Amino acid sequence: MEMLFLSLLSLVTIVKPVPLRPQASPTQQSHMDFSEADWEFAQEYLHNFYGHKSKPVRTKRTAVSDAGPDRTTALCDKIRDMQRFFGLPPSGELTQETMATMRRPRCSLSDAEPFGETIRWKKRNLSYRVVGYDNIISAPKLHRIFREAWRLWSNVAAIKFRRRNRKEADIVISFYNGDHSDGSPFDGKGGILAHAFLPGYGIGGDVHFDAEEDWSFNATGFNLFAVTVHEFGHALGLHHSSDPGAVMYPAYNFAPDYNLQLSFRDVKDVQHLYGVSPNFASQFSKNPPPRTPDKCDPDLSFDAVSELQQELLFFKGRFMWRKHPNFIETGITLIRSLWPNGVPLHLDAVYQNVERNVVLFFKGQQYWMLRQLEVQEGFPRNISNLGFPSRITSVDAALHFRNDHTTVFFTGHECWRYDEQQNRMEGSPALIEQQWPGIPSPIDAAVLYEGFVHLFKGSVRYQFDLSARQVVSTGPANDLLECKRHPGSEISSERITE
Give the Cα separation of 114 and 85 in Å (integer): 6
Q: Which is nearer to ligand 01S, 68 or 183 (CB)?
A: 183
CB of 184 to ligand 01S, least distance (A): 7
231 annotated active-site:
yes
Q: Which does 466 bind (CB under 5 to 8 A by kind): ligand 01S, Zn ion, Ca ion, none?
A: none
CB of 378 to Zn ion, least distance (A): 38
Instruction: Kindly provide the b/e burial profile for residues 472-494, where b requires at least 16 CB atoms within 10 angstroms of the residue's own CB.
Output: eeeebbbebbebeeeeeeebeee
Residue of 97, 113, 212, 231 marked active site: 231
Give the Cα separation of 379 and 317 in Å (integer): 21
- Of 52, 78, 208, 265, the one binding Zn ion (CB under 5 A) is 208
Q: Which does 182 bind (CB under 5 to 8 A by kind): Ca ion, ligand 01S, Zn ion, none?
A: Zn ion
- Of 191, 221, 288, 298, the one binding Ca ion (CB under 5 A) is 191
Binding mask 169-188 for Zn ion (x = CB under 5 A): -------------x------
CB of 222 to ligand 01S, least distance (A): 7
Taking CB under 5 A as the rule, does residue 10 contact Zn ion?
A: no
CB of 190 to Ca ion, least distance (A): 6
What residues contact 245, with CB distance under 8 A and at least 6 apart?
A: 263, 264, 265, 290, 291, 292, 318, 319, 334
Q: Which does 208 bind (CB under 5 to 8 A by kind): Zn ion, Ca ion, ligand 01S, none?
A: Zn ion
Q: Which is nearer to ligand 01S, 237 or 380 (CB)?
A: 237
Of 398, 389, 441, the closest CA to residue 417 belongs to 398
How are strands ordered across the β-sheet holding 406-411? 397-401, 406-411, 414-419, 424-431
CB of 171 to ligand 01S, least distance (A): 14
- Of 210, 243, 396, 444, the one binding Ca ion (CB under 5 A) is 210
List of long-range contacts for 273-276, beta carbons under 8 Å, 24+ apart? 273/115, 273/118, 273/120, 273/157, 273/236, 273/237, 273/238, 274/120, 274/121, 274/124, 274/157, 274/158, 274/159, 274/236, 275/157, 275/158, 276/156, 276/157, 276/158, 276/496, 276/497, 276/498
CB of 28 to ligand 01S, least distance (A): 33
How many residues contact Ca ion, by CB under 5 A?
4
Specify the stretch interacting with Ca ion by CB under 5 A; choose among 30-38, 182-190, 312-320, 430-438: 182-190
Of 5, 96, 105, 112, the closest CA to residue 49 belongs to 112
Q: Which residues bind ligand 01S (CB under 6 A)?
A: 1, 4-5, 192-196, 226-227, 230-231, 234, 250-252
Helix (H, G, I), strand (E, B) or coil at 358: strand
Q: Which is nearer to Zn ion, 185 or 344 (CB)?
A: 185
Q: Which is nearer to Zn ion, 97 or 210 (CB)?
A: 210
Of 326, 327, 330, the closest CA to residue 305 belongs to 330
Please answer whether residues 254 and 260 qualify as being in contact, where contact means their C-beta atoms are separated by less than 8 angstroms: yes
Q: Which helix (H) or strand (E) holds 253?
A: none
Q: Which is nearer to Ca ion, 116 or 183 (CB)?
A: 183
Q: Which is nearer to Ca ion, 68 or 132 (CB)?
A: 132
User: Which spans of this chain sit near Ca ion (rule: CB under 5 A)?
Assistant: 187, 191-192, 210
Question: Hey, which residues are catalytic here?
Answer: 231
